[in-house]
């Protein structure tokens, strides 16, 4: 019966209506990439251990990691590492007390995303 006394007041914003600011979305993505990098680390570890175990195990790991899906997962892991590093640098700047005003925070959002993509592409070009 609480709705009877509600009048014309709007509903509270929820995730279907309210759009999170870019800084909040990057904060969530920072946490997701931190967890996601574990997958890449496990795959690299598997590849290294397989190389030490036997040529057959090494060939199997190599086949999985160089497949289309394997390349995509490793590329995603590389981007996650670069994003995590770039956002970590931004957090160091924030820890020093700089960049909290809205305009600077918005610029640093775009710098973090852009730098992570550019660094990922540079690493891919270097290792190819």
**The pair of three-digit structure tokens given for residue 101, joined into one six-digit string:** 């005003």
Taking residue 51's Cβ as centre, other Cβ atoms within 10 Å add up to: 14
- Quick check: helix, strand or coil at residue 122? helix
Gap between the Cα atoms of 45 and 36, Å rounded: 15
Evaluate the CA torsion angle 15, 87, 35, 33 in order and state its sign: positive
Taking residue 76's Cβ as centre, other Cβ atoms within 10 Å add up to: 16
Q: Is 14 labelled as part of a ligand binding site?
A: no
List, as residue ranges, the binding site: 84
Provide the annotated binding site for heme. 84
């Amino acid at each position: 019966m609480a709705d009877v006394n509600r009048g014309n007041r709007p509903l509270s914003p929820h995730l279907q209506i309210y759009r999170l600011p870019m800084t909040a979305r990057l904060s969530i993505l920072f946490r997701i990439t931190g967890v996601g990098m574990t997958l890449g680390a496990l795959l690299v570890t598997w590849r290294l251990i397989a190389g030490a175990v036997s040529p057959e195990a090494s060939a199997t790991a190599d086949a999985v990691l160089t497949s289309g899906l394997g390349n995509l997962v490793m590329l995603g892991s590389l981007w996650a590492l670069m994003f995590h590093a770039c956002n970590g640098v931004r957090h160091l700047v924030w820890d020093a007390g700089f960049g909290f005003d809205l305009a600077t925070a918005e610029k640093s959002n775009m710098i973090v995303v852009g730098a992570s993509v550019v660094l990922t592409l540079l690493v891919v070009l270097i290792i190819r």
